[in-house]
Structure 1
Amino acid sequence: MNILDQQIILEFFRANYELFMACVFLGTFAVTFYLIPKVLWVSKERNLMASVNERSAHSTAIPSFGGVAFYITLILVLSILQSMRLTFVGNHLIAAITILFMVGLKDDLVISTAKVKLVGQITAALFVIFSPELDLTNLYGFLGIHEIHPLIGIFLKGFFVIALINAYNLIDGIDGLGAITGIIISGVYAWVFYGTGQPYYVLVSLSVAGVLTAFLRYNFGRRKKMFMGDSGSLIIGLLLAFLSIRHLVMEPNVPLMTQGYDPGNRLLFLGCVLFIPVFDTLRVIIIRKINGTSPFSADRNHAHHVLLDLGLSHFKASACFGLLNLLIISIYLYFSNKLDQLWLLFLVVFMYAAAFLLFAKLKAIGRAKASSAHASVGSDVAEEVKV
């Protein structure tokens, strides 16, 4: 493709920007919706099913290769966008996604060690954090911090990418939760980047939303049911981290959401947009430390387990988390132009603390309910013995 052809395509793109947005969302939805049944058929033919254990939220073996459809669709879209030369960051993103897809697919097939997964995540993160368009050298006044050393920025970005990849992977424990959370986060980012005139990032956000929306049909399905698996959750987590960092490094003179928005509050905004994965990860780590177990040990202390133990279905539990995330974002946006930074920080901390207390109370209710049910069963057995 020569320079003239690229200019013609770019002019057509700019003249039909909203049409491209709709096409990207519907296109990624359609391709993913078409591919998942094919992947499902191959998985069943080759008996590639997710095993059931004591921590599983499902009782039957289900294929966990939704990430294969994710990867094909996202690479196709990113390659097309890259041919338009909207940005040079696309090459880095394609490489990072490919690495994590390979790591996740291996784990879905034969189970990878934590060390192998961490090395893969670090390697993928390097492609993102060293991208010139994602340089982090200023926090724009967050807690009084402005310019920071580039090495500190690299460390913060690397920690952020790896932490969010794993946080998103952790919440993918029940049907719909990972997808609904990803749709909300990517949808908010699409709105932000649209309002700030960043078309490439709008289209990437819509691609993630389109893929996950199509996946919901099969994640909640009964006969045709699919999990995204590590191959899916790792690359979606990477993309959400990529979009989050892009939001963080935007120029301060770019208008965002509401007039008077302070760029120094971006970390607080991210804390609300990413509330579900961040809250659940912090909660699990704190509980495990209190119990004296490793923060990396597996258990049933996730927030979604609390709702399941209360008797909620997967759909209702996932919907509750989605509504909670939207509520947190809405509260922040309402007060973002009314409070100064310290009060906003207090508000965000208060919302996290309130969520911790709420789920502690719900867990206690769930335990009491389980104890009552166990006592009732014991009483029935005793009566039968008497008879």
Structure 2
Amino acid sequence: MIMYSLMMLTAAVVAYATTWGARFLAKKMRLFGPIRSRDMHSVPISRLGGLGLCAGFAVALVVASNSFFVKDIFRGNTAPWGILAGVLVIVAVGLADDLLDIRWWIKLIGQALAATVVAVWGVRMTVIPFIPEPIHIESEAARIVITALLIVTTMNAVNFIDGLDGLAAGVAAIGGVAFFLTAYWVHRNAVLLDRSDLAALLMAILVGCCIGFLPHNWFPARIFMGDSGAMLLGLVMASAGIVSTGQISSGLYDRVNGIPTIIPILLPFAVLSLPLLDLGLAVVRRTARGQSPWSADRGHLHHKLIELGHSHRTAVVMMYVWTAILAFGGLAFAIFPWQLVLTADIAAALVMAVVTAWPYFARRGSRTRQ
């Protein structure tokens, strides 16, 4: 835990410092994107925050490769460097979009390229969790294609939810903590000679990057992470999920007193369930209008929360709490009796649903009294 915490701290310090540098660079060179109809801010703000996240991730990964305990992850393993290569590609694509507003299909090609880099030189989906037995993917081509599709989907899900100050970074940090604790708990309780784990390291670094970036991005934001930062978070989270999924057949993720768990693949989707739901609704909504699925609008979940009557900050906190319920509620299934966890999760969700809809009920009650 100490080494993971140090890597998290390293990523946080570097991300915080380099985001300052990105803010200075943007101000010096006037690198501000135009205010779009869907944006929630009214003054020009730089979208170069992805540079800080990228620097934090890259530096922490290099430091980890030379640090006690976690350096064992890199011994004879090119996966971390393949993931870093994918990160560098997607940050370059995202910066091009943030600065030049490239066409959606060009960005999609860039996403596919970054995901393929990870799939070829980083990590690959080798097992599909399924009860009672996992399905093994034998074809290398199928592994690459499935991996790339998962990464592209996750990148777009995170990118779609990045619409309010502090939202994407906070959601990723909360989900990353739950994911890290899952991977760490599993490996600490397993009979292994080497308990270091790439998924745990990736999540520790990702959480650190988000923590370092958030002070600059919290409402009112001084800088945005842009597409470069949002897609970076999605790529790293998807890669960590794929790493853990490949460990299912080893028995590491089997529950001691219960059914075999599929936490490695379900937890990333639980963490990203709100972004994925938002992505799915956006595709359906835009397609029904005859628009491109990638065209922009103000119909995202965070926009709906503000339309309900929540303030900017409150809407972000609402999304944080929902993410925590889904992420830590999913994590709890791997540790506690499922009956207890299910009851607690349902109760928490019901309470949160009432809190979320409270402004609507308040307005309706006010009209009824009048």
Q: Which category of TM-score, normalised to the shorter sequence, fits these structures?
A: 0.7 to 0.9
Matching residue of 1:74: 57
Contact 2:127 2:137 in 1 (8 A): yes
Matched, 1:86 2:73: yes
Q: Aligned AA for 2:208?
A: G
Matched, 1:278 2:276: yes
Query: What does residue range 222-241 of structure 1 map to in structure 2 within 5 Å?
Result: 222=220, 225-241=222-238
Change (3 A) 1:257 1:190: farther
Matching residue of 1:165: 155
Max Rg structure: 1
CA deviation string 1:235-279 (max 9, x = no partner): 111111111111221143443495335244644333312212111
Matching residue of 1:183: 173
Aligned equivalent of 1:308, options 306, 309, 320: 306
Query: What does residue range 50-199 of structure 1 map to in structure 2 within 5 Å?
Result: 50-83=33-66, 84=71, 86-87=73-74, 88-131=78-121, 134-142=123-131, 146-150=135-139, 151-195=141-185, 196=187, 197-199=195-197
Contact 1:176 1:314 in 2 (8 A): no
- Deviation, structure 1 residue 55: 1.0
Contact 1:192 1:256 in 2 (8 A): no
Change (3 A) 1:282 1:211: same
- Count residues with an aligned counterpart: 338
Change (3 A) 1:239 1:255: same
Matched, 1:255 2:252: yes
CA deviation string 1:96-118 (max 9, x = no partner): 11111111111111112222212
3-state SS of paired residue (1:283): helix
Higher relative contact order (CA 8 A, sep 6+): 2
CA deviation string 1:153-198 (max 9, x = no partner): 3322111011111111111011111011110222122112212234
Matching residue of 1:379: none
Matched, 1:324 2:311: no
Contact 1:276 1:325 in 2 (8 A): yes
Structure 2 alignment gaps of length 5 or more: 188-194
Change (3 A) 1:124 1:144: same
CA deviation string 1:270-319 (max 9, x = no partner): 33122121111112223334444332221111000001122322221111
Matching residue of 2:6: 23
3-state SS of paired residue (1:86): helix
Q: Aligned AA for 1:297?
A: S
CA deviation string 1:98-152 (max 9, x = no partner): 11111111111111222221221111111222247x3433324348662334243
Contact 1:280 1:302 in 2 (8 A): yes
Q: Aligned AA for 2:117?
A: F
Higher mean displacement: 241-250 or 328-337: 328-337
Change (3 A) 1:318 1:253: same
* Structure 2 Cα separation of the partners of residues 220 and 70 of structure 1: 15
* Structure 2 Cα separation of the partners of residues 189 and 82 of structure 1: 21
- TM-score of the pair, normalised by structure 1: 0.77
3-state SS of paired residue (1:166): helix
* Structure 2 Cα separation of the partners of residues 89 and 333 of structure 1: 25
